C-alpha cells in the first residue's frame, strides 16, 4: 500500500539524530517520501513500528521508544513499518521496501501482513524430521515475492551426524540460496548470523514451532523469552512466540521473531513461485505448444526432461500445487477486497445522504 507523501519540518535532523535513524533502518527510500512542513505546523518525526496492537503501535524513534495511535486500521500496519508521528498520532505506513504477506489462517479470505522492510528472511528449520523440501519451497516463494533475501537456518546441527547433508539439500533448491547449520544453544555458533542483523539491517525469522526461533532470538538480543521442548515422536514443537516484535540485536541490527506457522498459504506470490521454480518455467517456455499442460501433449519439454532423468517428477507436482494454490488464494482475496470496497462505498453514500437530509 502506497502512503501519501507526508510532510515534516523535522527533516533537518542534526547529524546525531540522522545516525540514530540509520541504525533503526532509515534510508533515502523513506526520506524521499517526506516534504518540508510549513512554519507553524505541529512537529513530526519518523518512527519505526516495533509492535502492532489493536488500537496502538509501539514504536522506536531517534528519541527513544514511543506509543502511538494509528490513523488507519491496525491490520494495515506491520512490524518493521515506518510511519510519521505527529504528536501521538501515527500516519499511514510509508511505502515499504519489502512486504512479507500470506493468506490469513483459517477461513479468512484476506491477506495477513507478517513483517515489513525486512532485508533478509531467515527460514528456520531443523536437522531432523522437521526438514521438509516442499515446505521450504513454499517459504522461498513467499520470500521471493516479498523482495527479501532468503537465508535457510538449520538448527539442531549438534544433534545429527552430518548437518552438511541438510545444507546441500537446502541450497540445491536455488543457486542464489544460502543455508547455514548452527547449534542454536551455542552463543558463538549463533553469532554466525550477525552479518544478516548488523549495521541497521533487519532479519526476520519464520518457521514451524519448536525449530529454535526463540532460542536464536535469546542469543542475538538481550530479550530472554521462554522456550519449549519439541515432541520426540515427530520433532514438532509447541508455540512459544505469540506475537511479532522488532528487537535490537547485539550486532547493531534488528530481529523480528514471528509465531510458528501451522499453515502458510501463499497469496499474490506468482513472481515468487516463478522464481523458486525458474528451472521449470524456463523449460516450459520451450514446449511445442504455448498452452501445454505437460501431461500428454507432444513436444513437451518438461515431460522429455523427466523421461531423461534431468527433472524430478515430484518437483513438478510441487510446482503445480503451489501455482494452483496461489492462483486460487489471490483470486479469493481479490474478491474479498472488492466486496469490502463495495460495502465501504455503500456506507459512504449513506453517510452523504444523511448529511444532505440534515441540512434541508
Residue 106 annotated in ligand binding: no
How far CA 77 is from CA of 72, 164, 281, 344, in Å, comes to 8, 39, 34, 20
Q: Please check if 350 is assigned to a binding site.
A: no
CB-based contact 103:329 (threshold 8 Å): yes
Q: Is 209 labeled as ligand-binding?
A: yes
Could you give the 3-state DSSP secondary structure of residue 126?
strand
Per the annotation, does 356 bind a ligand?
no
Asked whether the beta carbons of 82 and 50 are under 8 A apart, the reply is no
Rg from Cα positions in the chain: 23
207 known member of a binding site: yes
| 143 annotated to a ligand binding site | no
300 is in an annotated binding site: yes
Give the length of the chain: 360
Residue 117 contacts residue 96 (beta carbons within 8 Å)? yes
Grid cell digits, residue 276: 523458486
Place of cell 532468503: 150
* Residue 213 assigned to a binding site: yes
| Inter-axis angle of helices 313-359 and 133-146, nearest 10 | 40
Was 19 annotated as part of a binding site?
no
Asked whether residue 210 is marked as a ligand-binding residue, the answer is yes
Residue 129 DSSP symbol: T
DSSP class of 229: P
* 215 has binding-site annotation: yes
User: Is the distance from CB of 130 to CB of 208 less than 8 angstroms?
Assistant: yes
Q: Is 252 annotated as a binding residue?
A: no
∠ CA 346-349-352, nearest 5°, is 150
Determine whether the annotation assigns residue 14 to a binding site. no
Positive or negative, the CA dihedral 196, 197, 202, 206 is positive
Quote the CA–CA distance of 150 and 148 in Å, as a whole number. 6
Q: Any binding-site annotation on 211?
A: yes
User: Which backbone phi and psi does 330 adopt, to 5 degrees?
Assistant: -65, -40
On whether 186 is known to bind a ligand per the annotation, the reply is no
Question: CA 192 to CA 56: how far, in whole Å?
Answer: 35
Closest CA to 246 of 23, 63, 8: 23
Residue 41 among known ligand-binding residues? no
214 annotated as belonging to a binding site for a ligand: yes
> Which residue ranges are tagged as binding site for Zn(2+)?
287, 292, 294, 300
> Which residue ranges are tagged as binding site for GTP?
155-158, 207-215
> Which residue ranges are tagged as binding site?
155-158, 207-215, 287, 292, 294, 300
Amino acid at each position: 500500500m502506497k502512503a501519501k507523501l507526508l510532510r515534516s519540518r523535522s527533516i533537518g535532523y542534526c547529524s546525531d539524530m540522522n545516525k540514530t535513524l540509520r541504525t533503526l533502518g532509515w534510508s533515502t527510500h523513506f526520506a524521499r517520501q517526506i516534504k518540508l512542513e510549513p512554519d507553524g505546523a505541529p512537529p513530526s518525526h519518523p518512527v519505526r513500528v516495533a509492535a502492532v496492537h489493536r488500537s496502538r503501535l509501539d514504536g522506536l524513534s531517534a528519541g527513544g521508544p514511543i506509543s502511538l495511535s494509528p490513523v488507519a486500521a491496525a491490520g494495515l500496519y506491520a512490524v518493521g513499518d515506518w510511519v510519521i508521528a505527529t504528536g501521538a498520532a501515527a500516519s499511514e505506513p510509508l511505502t515499504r521496501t519489502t512486504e512479507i504477506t500470506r493468506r490469513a489462517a483459517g477461513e479468512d479470505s484476506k491477506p495477513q501482513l507478517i513483517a515489513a522492510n525486512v532485508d533478509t528472511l531467515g527460514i528456520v528449520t531443523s536437522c531432523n524430521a522437521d526438514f521438509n523440501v516442499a515446505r521450504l519451497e513454499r517459504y522461498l516463494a513467499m520470500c521471493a515475492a516479498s523482495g527479501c533475501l532468503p537465508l535457510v537456518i538449520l538448527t539442531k546441527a549438534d544433534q545429527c551426524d552430518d548437518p552438511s547433508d541438510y545444507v546441500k539439500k537446502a541450497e540445491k533448491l536455488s543457486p542464489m540460496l544460502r543455508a547455514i547449520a548452527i547449534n542454536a544453544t551455542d552463543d558463538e555458533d549463533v553469532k554466525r548470523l550477525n552479518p544478516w542483523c548488523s549495521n541497521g539491517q533487519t532479519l526476520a525469522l519464520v518457521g514451524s514451532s519448536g525449530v529454535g526461533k526463540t532460542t536464536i532470538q535469546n542469543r542475538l538480543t538481550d530479550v530472554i523469552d521462554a522456550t519449549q521442548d519439541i515432541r520426540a515422536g515427530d520433532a514438532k514443537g509447541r508455540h512459544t512466540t505469540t506475537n511479532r516484535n522488532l528487537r535490537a540485536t547485539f550486532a547493531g541490527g534488528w530481529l523480528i521473531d514471528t509465531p510458528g506457522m501451522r499453515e502458510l498459504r501463499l497469496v499474490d506470490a506468482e513472481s515468487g513461485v516463478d522464481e523458486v521454480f525458474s528451472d521449470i518455467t524456463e523449460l516450459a517456455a520451450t514446449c511445442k505448444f504455448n498452452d501445454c499442460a505437460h501431461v500428454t501433449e507432444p513436444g513437451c519439454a518438461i515431460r522429455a526432461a523427466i523421461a531423461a532423468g534431468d527433472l524430478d517428477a515430484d518437483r513438478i507436482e510441487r510446482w503445480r500445487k503451489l501455482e494452483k494454490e496461489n492462483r486460487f488464494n489471490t483470486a479469493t482475496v481479490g474478491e474479498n477486497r472488492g466486496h469490502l470496497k463495495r460495502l465501504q462505498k455503500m456506507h459512504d453514500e449513506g453517510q452523504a445522504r444523511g448529511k444532505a437530509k440534515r441540512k434541508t
